[in-house]
Structure 1
Amino acid sequence: MTRTSASGGGLTLSWCLVMALVMCAAHAAAADDPASDAPALHFDLPAQPLARSLAVFGHLTGHSVLVTSRLTDGREASPVQGDFAPRDALQRMLVGTGLVARYTGASAFTLVPAPATTAVPDERAPTGAPTAGNAPALQAYAAVLQGAITRVLCIAQPDAFGRYRLAVQLWIDPAGAVTEARLLEGSGVPARDATVLASLRTLGLDTPPPAALPQPVTLLLTPRPDPARDCRPYLRARTG
């Protein structure tokens, strides 16, 4: 996954984000990637719900995150005010939340509970977390999800797909049908956001999700370099 930039940021949909979690789980014992030489950015984040701070952080930095609402609900981010490199700002934001960031690339991360210091379990932590053993199943499902989401959004918005930033959460039932889609961060065009949500709510996959898939699945769309090329196979099949 890459950050959104003029150099061709990729469309980081849930398939990339799911794979980020897989890689994090498979290499949980490995040290995090060393901090990059990213330039400092100005942050002015108050103490507020963690999910809100993460959305603003992603918008400012272009970093992508996969985290379930079970992990963020009820947690408050610490204030971050001043000029910091993105990873330093994120570390400050997470102070007191009981969570730490694990980077799976230069600008992609997931959040995991901090190493336990007591025997008292954190009931807010998600159960059934992915492990190295079920990583192949999640990776395979990520590919299925990639094609399905690209197809429905290309058909619904052939002239807009891949040209905006938007974040949503999806709930997928055991049969593979999306049962709910909720907006986390709008694209700035309410009508477009409504079309995306309506399209995703009709999504059904022939492949059921693996039991280890964290839900809801967080979906982050960012501009991609050649969206017309990505949509071409789906539009050709529809008209052919």
Structure 2
Amino acid sequence: MLGAGADLAMGQESPNASAARITFDIPSQALTSALESYGATARREVLYDARLATGRRSSEVKGVFAPSEALQILLDGTGLVGRLTSENALVVVPSSPAAGQPTTPDVDARKGDPIIRARYYAQVQERVRDAFCRDSLLRPGRYRIAVQFWIAPTGSVQQTKILSKTGDDRIDSAIETTLRGLRIKEAPPQGISQPLTMVVAPRSPEQTQDCVGIDAIRYGGEAN
């Protein structure tokens, strides 16, 4: 798992990841639903600002592609790009400050900075993933869900909304409870609108390395 400060542009994947080509069949549609379909097909966790996706449409993705190639095609013309935060997780951010929101002389241009957004989103992803890994019911890899959440200026998650349920009421309830009790290390940077949307997709056992770091800390501590 990469730290929250890690920042990889799409396409800078490991050779093994790039070689894993997948069949995609995602019609042009509302970007929000297209990103959910992408996450499910690519088996990747996706985090994005719901406001940025609203009103935008994806390009059609049909054929066999590496996940990074497919996302580039899907986002073509939207003014948004994908950035990897770990091998199986990514965030979607503006390709430039202007693509996120207009800036004026009295508004800090960094508000729309895609690097600032990507690093904060990565921190949120890591915090959520760690919380899920500490709960045996919520460990990633076995379920699919799309959920929105709002982060208060204090860094605490104050509201959640499930967009696409897992099919297991226990997991859905536990996810909402866990998120509402979560606190992000930093407050949301200026210019990031709410809510944030996260898509968690099921993955094969070979891909589910999300909890390795947490397990090492937990079991290493127990061993001591």
Length-normalised TM-score, structure 2: 0.64
Unaligned stretches of 5+ residues in structure 1: 3-15
Aligned CA distance change for structure 1 residues 147 and 80 (closer, same or farther; 3 Å): closer
Please name the residue that 2:189 is paired with: 211
Note the 1:60-209 alignment, pairs <5 A.
60-114=41-95, 121-122=98-99, 128-129=111-112, 142=123, 146=127, 150=131, 158-162=135-139, 164-165=142-143, 166-201=145-180, 203=181, 205=183, 209=187
Cα distance in structure 1, aligned partners of 2:212 and 2:14:
30
Kindly state the Cα deviation for residue 172 of structure 1 after the two structures are TM-superposed.
1.5
The amino acid of 2:152's aligned partner reads: D
Aligned CA distance change for structure 1 residues 101 and 192 (closer, same or farther; 3 Å): closer
RMSD between superposed Cα atoms in Å: 4.5
Q: Is the 8 A contact 1:45 1:81 kept in 2?
A: yes
Q: Is the 8 A contact 1:33 1:105 kept in 2?
A: no
Does the residue aligned with 1:128 lie in a helix, a strand or coil? helix
The amino acid of 1:93's aligned partner reads: L
The amino acid of 1:160's aligned partner reads: L
For residues 35-76 of structure 1, the C-alpha deviation after alignment (integer angstroms, 9 at most, x for no partner) is 743232111111111121111111111233332112111111
Aligned CA distance change for structure 1 residues 73 and 110 (closer, same or farther; 3 Å): same
Cα distance in structure 2, aligned partners of 1:42 and 1:216:
31
Kindly state the Cα deviation for residue 77 of structure 1 after the two structures are TM-superposed.
0.7
User: Bigger radius of gyration, 1 or 2?
Assistant: 1
Length-normalised TM-score, structure 1: 0.60
Q: Is the 8 A contact 1:186 1:193 kept in 2?
A: yes
Cα distance in structure 2, aligned partners of 1:134 and 1:44:
29
Kindly state the Cα deviation for residue 162 of structure 1 after the two structures are TM-superposed.
0.7
RCO higher in structure (CA 8 A, sep ≥6): 1
Q: Is the 8 A contact 1:71 1:125 kept in 2?
A: no
Once the two structures are aligned, what percentage of the paired residues are identical? 27
Aligned CA distance change for structure 1 residues 220 and 134 (closer, same or farther; 3 Å): closer
Aligned length: 201
Kindly state the Cα deviation for residue 171 of structure 1 after the two structures are TM-superposed.
0.9
Does the residue aligned with 1:71 lie in a helix, a strand or coil? helix
Does the residue aligned with 1:74 lie in a helix, a strand or coil? coil
Kindly state the Cα deviation for residue 194 of structure 1 after the two structures are TM-superposed.
2.8
Kindly state the Cα deviation for residue 193 of structure 1 after the two structures are TM-superposed.
0.8
Kindly state the Cα deviation for residue 92 of structure 1 after the two structures are TM-superposed.
1.6
Aligned CA distance change for structure 1 residues 128 and 206 (closer, same or farther; 3 Å): closer
Q: Is the 8 A contact 2:147 2:198 kept in 1?
A: yes
Kindly state the Cα deviation for residue 206 of structure 1 after the two structures are TM-superposed.
9.1
The amino acid of 2:138's aligned partner reads: F
The amino acid of 1:64's aligned partner reads: E
Cα distance in structure 1, aligned partners of 2:39 and 2:175:
20
Note the 1:20-59 alignment, pairs <5 A.
22-24=5-7, 33=12, 36=15, 37-59=18-40
For residues 137-175 of structure 1, the C-alpha deviation after alignment (integer angstroms, 9 at most, x for no partner) is x59x949x8389728x85xxx551315333422212123
